[in-house]
A and B are shown apart, each in its own frame.
Chain A
Amino acid sequence: MIIKDVVCPFCGCLCDDLDVEVDGQKIIKVQNGCTLAEATLTGNNRLPAPIRRTANGWEEISYDDAIRETADILCAADRPLLYGWSSTHGEAQSIGVHIAELIGAVIDNTSVVCHGPSILAIQEVGHPGCTLGQVKNRADVIVYWGCNPTEAHPRHMSRYTTFATGFFVPEAQKDRTVIVVDTRRTESAEIADEFIRIERGGDYEVLSALRAIVRGKGSILPREIAGVAREQLFRVAEICMKAKFGAIFFGLGLTMSNGKYKNVRNAIELTDELNRHTKFTISPLRGHGNVYGSNEVFTWITGYPYAVDFARGIAFYNPGETTAVDILRWGECDAALIVASDPGAHFPHAAAAHLAKIPTILIDPHRTATTPLCRLQIPCTMAGIDAEGTAYRMDGVPIRYKKLIESLYPDDADLLRRIHDRIREVQGA
């Protein structure tokens, strides 16, 4: 059977035009998707049943036992952490937040290791953005700053930007000017009309210089800024100001380099400034499939997109203090539930090492780098493969994941609901 218009759950592009051939409980073939999509959809590394660590290695246990133990661990904790959420659907995320409320936990999502700084910047200066179709149909200038979509978001250029045909941009490559800014010459840089190579950690200075040029104050700039010739910046500013519609996309090269959120803020303020001359937008290239969804769900329930601390009943937010990495690194946390993410692979060593010291439970379909850090792992469905649900694309467009095959596993939303209900029972008693 071939299922049309399938949504790929891998990255924040959430391409929804895949054709997937399934045979019973197996995905046989993926069409239209990139290699990452194919690997995601056809991969098979599922954990067969819940497992518990014992002195002699792992033992399989029942779902009932696993749920009971999870609830007990969380109820007993003084500083529990609920972390992850980016590879599942909104329905599970929402129950996760309600569990956090119940037990006075810190709840955080994978933004902490990707676009958390972008969120902090947006909270300072806002975000002039748009949906991706607006870029596809209008943009004649595209800027990729500190990101390499060719590798990380392989279809971003063909679906939305450089190679996409849009209503007002009928001949994509001819009609669009592409600017790539990075500290190294990436694959994406190869197709750029203009490549700006910045010294490591110099993004802030270059963005400040561009803002000054757009404000007509370029004359005070030195000859070279973070390794970039002033003349090139004048040229690029000119291209941007003459654009009919410009779109900046940025990635971890900007958010995770020296200055972090101030870099992003500077890029946003450059965009604001350009809007006094023409139309310009800026958008983070979000990584995990539904990480933006976790920001949205957290926000409408708690008021904050990530790093929410319910220790005192009310919701408190202060990244750097209430972020998962920080409460682990500081050794505050005394129990953790990890859902749909792999901190074992993405966290700094000190933070990951602390997970191994405390009772950590993982709800995830696969054996991952986090599995060895856990006391308990409970396998579940994988949103977008054997479970349906809501996901938010990197530009905020909500899309419904399809269920492609029948599952042998419980949906993580159901698991979480059972944990939630069990916690209420324990608390009531």
Chain B
Amino acid sequence: MRVILETKERKKPFLPIEAETIIPSNFLKGPELTVYEGNKERLLSDLFTIVVEGTAVSPDKVEVVLKGDTARIKRVGEYMATGTIRIQGDIGMHCGNFMSGGVIEIGGNADAWLGREMLGGSIICHGNAGHYCASGYRGEKHGMRGGRVEVMGNAGDFCSEYLTGGEVHIHGNCGDMAGVEMKGGQLIIEGDATRPCGNMKDGMCMIFGTVHRILPTFEKIDTKKLPDRNVTVTVYKGDVANRGKGTLMIQKPHNEGDQHPANTLPGPATT
């Protein structure tokens, strides 16, 4: 079954829509769902043109397609356990929070907290991801614990904060402090990063672009050849400000007198 949700024109297009009801399993019983637009509860059909093609007997056979002005729609795919969501354009914050299975594919950019506290399944974002991509929640000890997040563009600050399990793969650059508080899992950054892995307790981070300002509390212990990529990386242990059991591998360390690059990514202020 395929459910196509195309946004209708709205009087106040800047109002956020809280749409955690948009997960594949909810459409098995039909599209009579509600979402919040600002502080008003609305029928899904008030905000979207809904087209349902075919039928499905189980949620894994449901595909939800989001079209139109979707950049302000938050929480799509929250708690989803199976099925597929495809977003043609940009998507709002908290896409795929707590997701435990299934697939989310985002054609454009994803706003902040993409895949927050994710448990399983996979998210692929063809554009950029905002701040706190694949991170945790305020005050919670564990961030993402399983599954896979792949971002073809850049990610903002605090990417994979509190990463505990699973894999995060950023093809572009990361902002400041990727992998901060990491305690497990694997973070791969193809592009540049600044001050990665502060306070890291465990887990592994590999960075193949230029790394600005490696923290002074990472200890260089080795160099290592990665045969599948045919590159040599410097291996650090850290963060010794903490227990220091994490592994950071960097292809191009660059520490001398460089500045923090201006962050031009979308996303909220990191208040």
A and B touch in the complex (CB under 8 A): yes
- Which chain A residues have a beta carbon within 8 Å of chain B's beta carbons? 77-80, 103-105, 112, 116-117, 120, 123-124, 201, 204-205, 207-209, 211-212, 215, 217, 220-222, 225, 258-262, 265-266, 269, 307, 310-312, 317-321, 323, 325-326, 329-332, 334
Complex Cα gap A381–B56 (Å) = 64
Whether the pair A120, B36 counts as a contact (CB closer than 8 A) is no
User: How far is B132's CA from A391's CA once the two chains are assembled, in angstroms?
Assistant: 35
Q: Assess the A78–B39 pair: CB atoms within 8 A.
A: yes
**CB <8 Å contact, A225 and B216:** yes
Q: Chain A contacts of B269 at CB under 8 A?
A: 320, 323, 325-326, 329
Known: A269-B199, A325-B271. A262 touches B216 (CB 8 A): no
Q: Is B167 an interface residue (CB 8 A)?
A: no
Given the known inter-chain contacts A209-B217, A222-B216, A259-B195, please indicate yes or no for A217 contacting B14, CB distance below 8 A. no
Q: Name the distance in Å between A352's Cβ and chain B's nearest Cβ.
A: 14
Q: Is B68 an interface residue (CB 8 A)?
A: no
Contact A201 B270 (CB under 8 A): no
Q: Which of A112, A221, A259, A317 contacts B217 (CB 8 A)?
A: A221
Q: Nearest chain B CB to A192's CB is how many angstroms away?
A: 23
- Decide yes or no: A260 and B239 within 8 Å by CB, A78-B37, A217-B244, A321-B93 being known contacts: no
> Are the CB atoms of B39 and A104 closer together than 8 Å?
yes
Q: Does B213 count as interface, using CB distance less than 8 angstroms?
A: yes
Question: Is there an interface contact between B216 and A221, defined as CB atoms closer than 8 Å?
Answer: yes
Report the Cα distance A317→B271, complex, angstroms: 13
Cβ-defined contact, B14 with A120, below 8 A: no
* Contacts of B226-259 to chain A: CB distance below 8 A: 239-242, 244
Contact with A along B187-199 (1 / 0, CB 8 A): 0000000010011
Least Cβ–Cβ distance between B66 and chain A, in angstroms:
20
Residues of chain B touching chain A, judged by Cβ–Cβ distance below 8 Å, are 12, 14-16, 18, 36-40, 93, 112-113, 131-132, 137-139, 176-177, 180-181, 195, 198-199, 213, 215-217, 219, 239-242, 244, 260, 268-271
Contact A78 B40 (CB under 8 A): yes
B199–A266 touching, CB < 8 Å: yes
Give bound CA distance, A79 to B195, whole Å. Answer: 37
Is the Cβ of B132 less than 8 Å from the Cβ of A320? Answer: yes
Question: Are B138 and A211 interface neighbours, CB within 8 A?
Answer: no
Q: Is the CB of B39 within 8 A of A320?
A: no
Task: Report the separation of the CA atoms of residues A225 and B218 in the bound assembly, to the nearest whole angstrom.
Answer: 13
A211–B38 CB distance below 8 A: no
Q: A220-B219, A312-B18 are in contact. Are A326 and B268 (CB under 8 A)?
A: yes
A to B CB contacts below 8 Å, 29 in the list: A79-B12, A105-B39, A124-B138, A205-B216, A207-B241, A208-B239, A209-B216, A211-B241, A212-B216, A212-B241, A215-B241, A217-B244, A220-B217, A258-B176, A266-B198, A266-B199, A266-B241, A307-B271, A311-B38, A312-B39, A319-B138, A320-B131, A320-B269, A321-B93, A321-B268, A323-B271, A325-B269, A330-B268, A332-B15
Q: Tell me if B's interface is mostly helix, strand, loop or mixed.
A: loop
CB–CB B198/A208 < 8 A = yes
| Residue contact B14 to A331, C-beta cutoff 8 Å | yes
Measured in the bound complex, the distance between the Cα atoms of B137 and A217 in whole Å is 31
Closest B residue, CB atoms, query A221: B216
State in angstroms the CA–CA spacing of A307 and B138 once bound together.
12
Q: Which residue of A lies closest to B41 (CB)?
A: A312
Residues of A within 8 A of B241 (CB): 207-209, 211-212, 215, 266, 269
Please name the 9 residue pairs, one residue from A and one from B, whose CB atoms are nearest each other, closest first: A104-B39, A78-B38, A123-B139, A211-B241, A320-B268, A208-B241, A79-B38, A331-B14, A217-B240
How many A-B pairs have beta carbons closer than 8 Å: the answer is 131
Query: Which residues on the B side are within 8 Å of A217 (C-beta)?
Result: 217, 240, 244
6 further A-B pairs in the complex, CB-CB below 8 A; given A209-B241, A318-B137, A321-B112: A79-B12, A117-B271, A208-B239, A209-B217, A220-B216, A262-B180
> Cβ of A319: which chain B residues have Cβ within 8 Å of it?
138, 271
- A332 in contact with B14 (CB, 8 Å): yes
CB distance from A385 to the nearest CB of B (A): 31
Task: Give the chain B neighbours of A116 by CB distance below 8 A.
Answer: 271
Flag if A330 contacts B14 (CB, 8 Å): yes
- Could you tell me if A79 and B15 are in contact, using CB atoms closer than 8 angstroms? yes
- A51 to B241: give the CA distance in the assembly, Å: 56
Contacts of A80 in B (CB 8 A): 39
Residues of A within 8 A of B113 (CB): 318, 321
Could you tell me the distance between the alpha carbons of A47 and B33 in the complex, rounded to whole angstroms? 49
**Which residues on the A side are within 8 Å of B216 (C-beta)?**
205, 208-209, 212, 220-222, 225
By a CB distance below 8 angstroms, the chain A residues around B15 are: 78-79, 332, 334
Return chain B residues, CB-CB under 8 Å to A208. 198-199, 215-217, 239, 241
List of B residues within 8 angstroms of A259 by Cβ: 176-177, 195
A78-B38, A78-B40, A212-B241 as given contacts; A332 in contact with B16, CB under 8 Å: yes
Rounded to whole angstroms, the CA-CA distance of A43 and B112 in the bound complex is 44
**In the assembly, what is the distance between CA of A234 and CA of B36, in Å?**
55
With a cutoff of 8 Å between Cβ atoms, the chain B residues found around residue A312 in the complex are 18, 36, 39
Cβ-closest chain B residue relative to A202: B213
Q: What is the CB-to-nearest-CB distance from A324 to chain B, in angstroms, rounded to a whole number?
A: 10
Contact partner of B38 (CB less than 8 A), chosen from A262, A320, A334, is A334
Q: A217-B244, A262-B198, A319-B271 are in contact. Are A205 and B215 (CB under 8 A)?
A: yes
Residue contact A310 to B239, C-beta cutoff 8 Å: no
Residue ID in chain A nearest B243 by CB atoms: A215
Chain B hits for A334, CB < 8 A: 12, 15, 38
CA distance in complex: A89, B224 (Å): 61
B240 nearest in chain A by CB position: A217
**Chain A nearest CB, measured from B157 CB (Å):** 9
Interface centre among B195, B240, B241 (most CB of A within 10 A): B241
Chain A residue at minimal CB-CB distance from B132: A320
Q: How far is the CA of A221 from the CA of B219 in the complex (A)?
A: 8
Contact partner, A220, options B39, B195, B240, B242, Cβ 8 Å: B240
In the assembled complex, the Cα of A417 lies from the Cα of B90 at a distance in Å of 42
A350–B177 alpha-carbon span in the complex (Å): 26
- The distance from the CB of B53 to the nearest CB of chain A, in whole angstroms, is 31
Point out which of B37, B132, B195 has the most chain A C-beta atoms below 10 A from its C-beta: B195
